[in-house]
Chains A and B, each alone.
Chain A
Amino acid sequence: AQKITQTQPGMFVQEKEAVTLDCTYDTSDQSYGLFWYKQPSSGEMIFLIYQGSYDEQNATEGRYSLNFQKARKSANLVISASQLGDSAMYFCAMREATSGTYKYIFGTGTRLKVLA
């Protein structure tokens, strides 16, 4: 069954340091997509980064990179040079594309606090 696991309910990081948020997934599909979203305290959901299951290179978007280890079924988010504005809830998500159904499943999230 499709599942996303985020084992870190909360993380602290010092401003300007890098931080890794963990995500593991479970799927029997060969074709799937992995996503990270940010939810600030204001509540909106912001798309950060995407990795396709067939992509050989790790995805990068500015200060965000996705450390994709397919054999281990992990898709960790790395935020470099943390800023105070990075304090938020972060969700890992997966989209399967089985038989024409496109379900997106989310993890329980990691709350990141950046310290000045």
Chain B
Amino acid sequence: NAGVTQTPKFQVLKTGQSMTLQCAQDMNHEYMSWYRQDPGMGLRLIHYSVGAGITDQGEVPNGYNVSRSTTEDFPLRLLSAAPSQTSVYFCASSFVAVVPYEQYFGPGTRLTVT
């Protein structure tokens, strides 16, 4: 089991560029989510999905798009990067109905927007 994988680990973008952060899990988890972590802010939920074809917005969705065409993959797209999107991004997955439904996290992507 690879668990939750994220690529890339590091990325530098210029303002206005777009890119996709990849996330995949091999645990057959229904639930997947994206967070951003900023100093002093904890983890803030960007988007989440409870299954293939179903996505919803979290606390800070503006500037980001997601899709969930398969159970395994949940890519996060930055449409037009801004310096305010400089952050560490975590993808996570979990079962929906299997206690304790803890989230398994990927290693994170450190994104810098200049």
Choose from A9, A33, A44, A106 the contact partner of B44 (Cβ within 8 Å).
A106
Contact B56 A101 (CB under 8 A): yes
User: Taking CB as reference atom, which chain B residue is nearest A100?
Assistant: B50
Q: Which of B41, B45, B100 contacts A50 (CB 8 A)?
A: B100
Q: Is A68 an interface residue (CB 8 A)?
A: no
Q: Which residue of A lies closest to B108 (CB)?
A: A43
Chain A, 82-102, contact with B by CB distance < 8 Å: what is the 0/1 string? Answer: 000000000101010000111
Number of interface residues of B (CB under 8 A): 27
Cβ contact within 8 Å between B43 and A91: yes
Q: Does A81 contact B (CB under 8 A)?
A: no
Majority-rule SS of A interface residues: strand
Residue from B35, B88, B99, B102 in contact with A47 in the complex, judged by beta carbons closer than 8 Å: B102
User: With A45-B105, A101-B50 known to touch, is A106 a contact of B42 (CB < 8 Å)?
Assistant: yes
Task: Let me know if A104 and B42 touch, CB within 8 A.
Answer: no
Q: How many residues of A contact B (CB 8 A)?
A: 24
Ordered by A's residue number, 30 sampled pairs between the chains whose C-beta atoms are within 8 Å are A4-B42, A6-B42, A33-B100, A35-B102, A43-B88, A43-B107, A44-B105, A44-B107, A45-B90, A47-B103, A50-B101, A50-B102, A52-B99, A91-B42, A93-B43, A95-B101, A100-B50, A101-B50, A101-B56, A102-B50, A102-B96, A103-B48, A104-B33, A104-B48, A105-B45, A105-B59, A106-B35, A106-B42, A106-B43, A107-B42
Taking Cβ atoms with an 8 Å cutoff, the residues of A that contact B are: 4, 6, 9, 33, 35, 43-45, 47, 50, 52, 91, 93, 95, 100-109
